[in-house]
Structure 1
C-alpha cells in the first residue's frame, strides 16, 4: 500500500500556530451534528445501540437501520455499547460521519458500571464485594415484590419466600445472621434499602389478617415498587462496600435503581408490556381416604380398649362414614389469575430528558371466595443539565399503592391438612353454611372475617450538582418518603358457630400506620490525575429524621353487619394502640480512592454516626474500612499467560460497621396511660449506657478471566464478627418487667465461601450464556460468657449456629409398646430441657443458582435452577395419630400394629402416654430430616417478531414459568418454608412487549 504524505505550506503553519495560540478556540467551537451507522460483522444494522458522550449523560440510540445522530464537540469521545458486543470509544475530532462495525463480546469488565452507593465503579476496578442483577432478569417475572426476583441469582444473598399469598415480605439475609435479635421482621438482621439514593424504612407492617401475619413476614413496604420499572439491583456485602453507610450498612446494603431517560436529540420512545397467567399450589399431600381413616379411628379405640361415643367420636357415630372430601382441593385448590400491564415513555432534548412509567398488577387467590391483590405504580425520572455541563439536576419520584383483600386464614391451610376426610358438607341444602352440631367447626366461616389492607407510598429524590472546577463537584441529594397503611378487618356474626358462640357480638378491627422521613446529604467530590496516579475523593454529611405513627382501634357491637367498619355505629370503641415515635440520625462520611497505573487500587472509607436510639453519652460511633485490589494480569511478567489467563485480580478488605436496629427510646423510662382517668403505669426500665453493636468484616477474593474473559471465575472468602450484642436482657418476674435493653458480651461469627462462574459462546446467529453461583456459609456463636446462667442457656450453644434446635435423642418405636422412645428422658411426663442433648443446625449450609440463556436468531430460552442444602422439620399430621384428624398415607402404612412389630411410626391411640410420646417425638431428632431442594425457579421463552417495517423497534412475545418443578425429600407443601403456610405458587404467564 502506498503511503501518501502532505507537506505543510508556510501559510498552513501560520494557521496552526494561530490555532494553538488562541488556547480557548477549541472550547468556543460550537457543537456539530455527528452521525453514522452501526452494523455487526455481517453488515447487518443493529438497532438500539447506545451512543453517549464519554463522562456525560448525553446520548442517543440507533434506529431500525442502525443510524444515529448526536450533537458533539470535536473534543468529545463517543462511547458505543450494546449488549453482546465490545464497547468502542471513538474520538470525534473533525469527523462528522462514522461507519462503525461492532465485534461480539460481552465480557469487557471495564465497561460494566456498578453502583457502589455514593460513587460508581466498574467490575474491573471494584475493590469491594458487589453483586448485581439487571432489568432483563427482573422485569418478566410475575412477582409482586422485586426482592423475590433475586432468589438463586446472587452469591451470599439468601431470599426466602415464606408464603404464596401476594404481599408477604420475603426473608432476606446477606451473609448470614449477625445479631441475636430475631423475630418476624428479621429484627437486627435487616439490610439497608436505598431506592434512587433514598433510604427507606423496610420494617414489615403488622397485619390482623392471618395470611399476612407477622409469622409469615407481615406486609412489605417494597411491594409498592414496580419490578418492571427497575433498571438494576446491586447488593453491597463486604466492609469496603458497606462501611461508607456506617451503622446502616452493618447487615449489607441493597441499592435499587429505577430506569432513567437518556439525553440527546431523539424521538420520543414508547414501550409497553402486558402479560396474563395462572397460578396454583404446586404440591398436594397424599392424605388417607375415608376407608383408611375410619379404620384408623377404630384401631385407635381398640388399642385403648375404649368405646367411641358421640362426644369423642362424632366422625364415627354422627358423620357419614362413606363421605369423602379432598379438603386440600376444596380449601386451597383454586386457580389464581394474574394480570400485569406496564407502560412507559421517554424522550427529551439534548439537555433535558425524562422517563415515565405506569404499572398495574392484579392477582387473585387460590382460596375460595373473591380475594385479590391489586397494585398501581407510577415512576417519573427527570434529568437536566446546562449547556456547559457544569450544572446537573436529577429528580426521581415513585408512587405506589397496593390493596390486599384477604381473610383471616392463619390456620386455613393447616385446617385443610387436618380435617377428617368424612367431615360434614360445607353448605346445607339451602345454601347456608353448615353448622351441623357443636362437634363441627365449618372452615369456611373464616372467609366471613374479611381483611382489606391498603398501603400507599411516595419516594422522591432530588439531586443537584455543580462542577466548581473540572476536578471539583458540589452535590446535594435530598429525599422524602411517605407511607400510609390502613387495614380494616370485619368480623360479623356469621364468623361464629351459633351453637357455641351465641353470646358474642360482631366487631371491626382498625389498624393504621404512617411513616414519614426526610433526608439531606451534601457532598463534595474531587477527581484528578497525577501522571499514573488517579485520585477520587468525596466528603459528605447525612441528616435524617423519621417519624412513625400508629393507631389501632376495635369497634364492638354492631346492630347490623352492613354497618361493620363504621366506628360511629359501634356500641363500644377501644383504642389498643396510639403511639408516635421519632428517630433522628446524623453522620459525616468520606472516601479516598487511589489508582496507580490501572493495576493497583486502594479504597478508604469512613463514617462518624450519631443515632437518637442511644443515650446522650453513647450516641456517637466511628466506622471505617480499607479495601484494595491488584490486577496481576497488567504486570509484564504475566503477559505470557494472557492468551489463556486474560484477567487476574486479587482484592481484599477489612473494616467495621455498627447497628442501631433497636426500638426508639429504649434508654428511657417509659409509661403508658391507664384507660379513663389520667393514671400512668410503667412499661419500660431505663438503661442509658448501652451502646452500638459492632460488626467487623474481613474478605479476601480472587477474580480470574480465561480466553479473553469468555470464562470468568470469582472466589471470595469472608469472615464477619458481630459483638456487643444489642438484645433485651431478661429480668426476673418479680421486677414486673420481662426485660431491659442492654448489651450482651456475645460474639456471633459468620464465615463462608462464595463462588461465581460465568461463560458465553457466540457462533453466527447462536449465543449461549451461563452462570453459576454457590454460597457455603457457616454461622456460629463464637463466645458468650456466662451463657449457662443466662436465659439463653436453652436457646444457644457456644460453638454452634444461632438457628439451632435442641432436641431429644430419638431411638425409634418400642416393638412392645408401640410408642416412640428416647435416650435419658424422664418417663414421669415432665419435660426437662436438659434432656435435649441433640443439636440440630437449621441454617442453609449451601445454596445458589445455575442460569442459562440460549439465543438463536430471534428466539431466546432462559432458565434458572435454584438449589439449597438444609435440614428442617419433616411434615407430620398436626394432631396425635389416632385422634380426630387425618394422616399421611405413608405414615398410616408404616404404623405399629401389634407387639413385635418393627415400625417407624407409633401406634394409633388417644391415650395420655401416646400423646406425651408424640409431642416428645415432635421435639426430637427423629422428626427432623433433610429438607434440601432443587427447584426450576424460572423458565422463559421469547420470540422477537419481524415487525420492524411497521415502525416497531422490537416486538417480543414471551412465556414465563415460576416454581415449575421441585426435587426434594421433604414431604410437606414447600421445603423452602417448612410448615403449613401457603407455598409459593407455580405460575405460568404469557405476554407481549413492544418498543417503538
Structure 2
C-alpha cells in the first residue's frame, strides 16, 4: 500500500511538473507574441568604420518585407516589434543583424566588404543576376554616372565607359543620333536608315524602335535619336548585353546586342516621402576649329592659280580678287558656329510609400541653345511615374512604369553653316549692310545668313509605358505578365521663303513648305512562368514565356508651293499646289516562345541554357520561323580549397564561356511580295519590287571565353574577354541588272562577316581611409571586323566595296604616285593601262575606322568633396576634311599654303582640268590620315554641405556641383571633327555647367 502511495506521489509530482512546465512555456510564448505584436518606433544612425554616415542603407525587419532606407545623414526610422531584429544591408558592406530588445534607438557601424560589390543586381532582361554569378557578358553603367552629364541622349553617357561598345557622335548638334556598334558591324547593310546593325533598345521591359528619325532639319546625315525624350535623371541603370548567353533569349532581336534601360522606382515600402530637386546651367562652345588660310595667303594662292593657268582674271571668274575687299578678313568659323550655347536643366522628383505601395514621380526640363547664328534652341520636357504595389500576403506584385517626353527643336540649316564656314573665302563680304539688311554684294555671293529667313520646327512626343503583374502560385512558382505600349509621334514643319534666295532669282521662286509626320506605335504582351528551387547542393531557376508584339509605322510627307503671302506659308489650303511625296503604312507582327534553365552547384559551378523560337511577318509563310539557343557556363575556381590554401591573395577567380546563335529580321517589311505604285496618270500601276518568298533569317553565331580575377579582397579586379561572332546568310538587297527594270531584290547572300576582339576591364580601390577614397577603372577594346567568305563577290556590286579576307571598314583606293613634274598636278596609277580610272585601278586597300578604343576614369573623395573624371581614347584612321582643289574660289586648310610652296601639294589652279586629278587623289591614300584622339570626356566636382549646418532648415542634403564635358581634346587630325573624320560635321560641344541638388 505504501509503495503504491509512493508511486502515486511521484506520478502526481511528474504530472504537476509537466503542467507547470507547459504553463511556463505557454506564458513565455504569450509574452513573446505580445511583444511581437507590440510595435514601436526604432531610430538611429548607420555609419561606416570611420564614423562617416552611410546613406541609402536598406533597413528591414527580419523575416518580413517591411523596410526603410537611411537618409543622406545616415539616419533611419522604422516601425518594428519590440523583440524583433533589424537587418542592415548595403552594397560594399557586410550585412549586419541586431536584436531590438525593446530599444527605441539603435546606432550601428557597418564593416566594409569589397567582395560584396559582386552582388550588385544586374538586369539581364527576363531575369536578374549579379556580377559574381553571371555566365554572360553584361556591362553596366549606373544612373549616378549618367544624370549629371550635360547631354541629351543617354547613349552619349556610355562613351569611353564600356568595353566592346563603340559610340560615335557624328555631330555636336543637340539631339543628333550617334552611331552605336556593340562588338562591331554584323551586317553588310550599313545605311543609316537600315536596322541591320542597330542594337535592340528596351526600356523597362518594353522594346522600342532604335532607328533614328530621318529627314530632320536638325541634321540630315544623322537623324534624331529616339531616346532623346528620356529623362536622364530618371535612369537607374543601363545594361548592355553582348555575348550569346546574354542575348540569345532575345533571339532574332539580339543579334546586334541589347541595351536595357531601367528607370528609377520608389526605394522601399514604408518610406517617408522624399523630395529631390536639381538645377544646373552653363554654356557650350565648339570644341575644335580648323586652321584655315587668312586673306593674304588665300589671295596669293588665287593669283598663283591664274598665273599657272595663263589666264587673266575678270569679274566673272575672279570676283573675289577684283570685286571683293582684298583687305577684309572674316573668321567664318567664328561667325557661323562660334557662338555660345546656353544650357539649363531642372529636375524634380518625389518618392514615398506605405506598407503595400511605393511610388516615384518626377519631371524635368532641359534646354540648349546653339552655336549657330539666329534664335535657335533645343528643348525637352519629360515626366515619369513608377508605381509598385503588393498584396498584404506579398503574393501579388504589380509594377507600373510610365515615361513621357516632348522633344522640340527649331534648328534650321546647320549643314550649310558648317560648309560655308569652311569654304567661304576669308575676304568674302560682310553679312549685313549698314542699314541692317542682308548684304548681297552686287549679287556676287549667296549670303550664308539667308537661311535665317526660313524656319523649321521638329517636335517629337514619345510615350513608353509598361505594366508588370506577378503572382506566387506556390513556393518558388510564380506566374507573371509583362505588357507594354509605346507611341511616338513626330511632326516636322519647314517653311522656305522667297526672301531666302538671292534677289536676282527671287522672283522666279515661290514660297514653299514641307511637312513630315512619323508615327510609331507598338504593343507587347509577355506571359511568363518562373520556378526556383533548391536541388541537392545547388539552386535551379527555370523560365518559360511567350511574346506577342505588333508594331505600326506611318510616314507621311507633304509639300506645298505657291503661297501668295508669307503669312499663309504652311497652310496647305492656301498653297497653289500640294503634293504627297511619301506615304507609307507598315504593320509588323512578331511572336516568340522562349525558355531559360539555370543551375548553380555550391555557388561554384554555373550552367545557363536559353532558347527561343521566333516568328516574323517580314518573311514569307514558309520561312517565317527560326530557332535560336545558347549555352553559358562559369566556374568560380577561387572557391576551390586548393586555390584558397595556396593563393591567399586571390580573392576571386572565375572562368566563363558561352556559345550560341542569334538571328536578325531587320529588313524592310513586305520584301517577299511584289509591290506596285500608282502611275502619274489615272488608273495605272507599275511594279516597284520583285517577289522572293525564299529568303530567310540571318544567323549570328557567337563564341566567347573570359577570365575574371579579384585580388586583395577584391580591391583589384581584372576581366579579360575574347569573342568571335560570325554573321552568315546575309540579308541584303541583291543588285539586279538594269535591264530587269529593278535595282535589287531582297535575298540571302552566301557571305560571312566575322567580328573578333579582346576586351579588358580593370578596376581598383587605390586608397580607402576615413577621409579619403580613390577608385580607378579602365577598359580597352581591340576589335577586328572581317569579311571571311563571299562566294562570287565579283558578280555583285559589293565587289567595289568589300574584299574577302579584309575588314569591312576599308577604302579601295588608287595608288598615289606623287605630283606630275610636267603638270604640277596629282597623279595616280592606271593599273590596267586603259587610260581610264575605275574601280579596277583601285588596288590599294586601306583600313579605316577604329583600331582600338577605351577609357580610364577616376573617382576621388575627400571628406565632403568629390572629384570624378574620364579620359576617352581612340586609335583610328580616316579621310581628311574635304575641300576643293587649291586655286578655286574656296578657302583651304592653312597647311596648303606651305605645302604648295614646298612642292608637296598640287599646284594652284582654277581650271577644271586640275579638279579631275585632284578628285582621283582624294580617293588615294594621300588624303588618309591619323584621326586618333585623347579626350577629357567628363570632369565633375562636387561639395556636400555638412548635415549639421542643414538641421535648422529641415533639409536632408545640399550639394553643389560643377561638371564639364569634352573639356580637352588632343589629336593630330587636321579636320574639324576627329570623332567623325571626313564627315564635315560640327564637333561635340565643350560644355561647362554648375548647379545644386537639394533633398528634403
Cα distance, 1:424 vs structure 2: 1.5
Aligned match of 1:197: 205
The answer for the alignment partner of 1:3 in structure 2 is none
> 1:125 maps to what in 2?
133
Give RMSD over aligned pairs.
2.4
Q: Helix, strand or coil for the counterpart of 1:499? A: helix
2:957 is the counterpart of 1:951: no
Distance 1:830 1:993, change over 3 A: same
Structure 1 residue 441: Cα displacement: 1.1
Match of 2:9 in 1: none
| Offset at residue 527 of structure 1 (A) | 0.7
Query: Given the superposition, is the C-alpha separation of residues 254 and 874 from structure 1 closer, same or farther in structure 2, using an over 3 Å criterion?
Result: same
Aligned to 1:821: 827
Residue 87 of structure 1: how far off its partner (Å): 3.7
Alignment deviations for residues 319-373 of structure 1 (CA, whole Å, 9 cap, x no partner): 1111111111111111110100000000010210100110000001100000000
Shift of the 990–67 alpha-carbon distance from structure 1 to 2, 3 Å rule, reads closer
Distance 1:55 1:755 in 2: 41
Task: Describe how 1:313-712 pairs up with structure 2 within 5 A.
Answer: 313-641=318-646, 643-675=648-680, 677-712=682-717
> What is the CA–CA distance in structure 1 between the aligned matches of 2:38 and 2:627, rounded to whole Å?
50
Match of 1:101? 109
Q: 2:979 aligns with which of 970, 976, 981?
A: 976
CA distance in 2, matches of 1:797, 1:862: 44
Taking a change above 3 Å as real, the CA distance of residues 325 and 596 of structure 1, as seen in their structure-2 partners, is same
> For the structure 1 residues 759 and 916, does the alpha-carbon distance in structure 2 shift closer, same or farther, using more than 3 Å as the test?
same
How far, CA to CA, are the matches of 2:659 and 2:35 in structure 1?
A: 45
Q: Is the 8 A contact 1:725 1:744 kept in 2?
A: yes
Change (3 A) 1:34 1:806: same
Q: 1:63 to 1:931 in 2, by over 3 A?
A: closer
**Partner residue, 1:934:** 934
Cα distance in structure 2, aligned partners of 1:990 and 1:51: 34
Measure, in 2, the Cα distance between the counterparts of 1:81 and 1:297: 74
Inter-partner Cα distance in structure 2 for 1:392 and 1:506: 58
> Counterpart in 2 of 1:255?
260
1-structure distance, mates of 2:296, 2:18 = 111
Deviation at 1:55, TM superposition (A): 9.8
Q: Does 1:993 align with 2:987?
A: no
Which string of whole-angstrom CA distances, capped at 9 and with x for unpartnered residues, describes residues 732-774 of structure 1? 1111110010000000000000000000120121000100000
Deviation at 1:95, TM superposition (A): 7.8
TM-score, structure 1 as length reference? 0.95
Query: CA–CA distance in 2 between the matches of 1:826 and 1:55?
Result: 83
Q: Aligned in 2, Cα 1:452/1:261: closer, same or farther, shift over 3 Å? A: same
- Would you say the 8 A contact 1:57–1:263 is kept in 2? no
Give the conservation status (yes or no) of the 8 Å contact 1:334–1:365.
yes
CA contact (8 A) 2:491 2:516 kept: yes
Q: CA deviation at 1:51?
A: 2.4
Could you list the per-position Cα deviations for residues 165-204 of structure 1 after superposition, in whole angstroms to 9, with x for gaps in the alignment? 1111111110000000011246301100110111001111
CA distance 1:92–1:917, shift in 2 (3 Å): farther
Helix, strand or coil at the partner of 2:808: coil
Aligned length: 977
Distance 2:312 2:491 in 1: 52
- 1:160–1:58: structure 2 CA closer, same or farther, 3 Å change rule? farther
- Cα distance, 1:263 vs structure 2: 2.6
Asked if structure 2 preserves the Cα contact closer than 8 Å seen for 1:643 and 1:708, the reply is: no
1:261-276 to structure 2, matched below 5 A, reads 261-276=266-281
Larger Rg over CA atoms: 2
Q: TM-score, normalised by structure 2?
A: 0.94
Deviations, residues 875-905 of structure 1 (Å, cap 9, x unaligned): 35x2110111111221111214xxxxx6221
The 8 Å contact of residues 74 and 94 in structure 1, kept in 2 or not, is answered as: yes
Judge conservation of contact 1:409–1:446 (CA < 8 Å) in 2.
no
Separation of aligned partners in 2, 1:87 and 1:375 = 42
Structure 1 unmatched runs, 5+:
1-8, 897-901
Match of 1:862 in 2: 868
Q: Distance in 2 between matches of 1:926 and 1:640?
A: 60
Aligned to 2:156: 148
The answer to whether the Cα contact below 8 Å between 1:47 and 1:66 also exists between their aligned partners in 2 is: yes
Is 1:180 matched up with 2:188? yes
Q: Which secondary structure state, in structure 2, belongs to the residue aligned with residue 212 of structure 1?
A: coil
Mapped partners of 2:99, 2:392: distance in 1? 18
Q: 1:19 to 1:796 in 2, by over 3 A?
A: farther
Q: Secondary structure at the match of 1:310?
A: coil
Please say if residues 548 and 580 of structure 1, whose CA atoms lie closer than 8 Å, have aligned partners that are also in contact: yes
Distance in 2 of aligned mates of 1:955 and 1:27: 40
CA separation in 2, counterparts of 1:534 and 1:687?
48
Is 1:244 matched up with 2:249?
yes
Matched, 1:811 2:817: yes
Residue equivalent to 2:802: 796
Aligned to 2:7: none
Check if 1:280 corresponds to 2:282.
Answer: no
Mark the CA change 1:26 to 1:479 in structure 2 (over 3 Å): closer, same or farther.
farther
SS in 2 for 1:143: coil
**What is the Cα deviation at residue 526 of structure 1?**
0.4
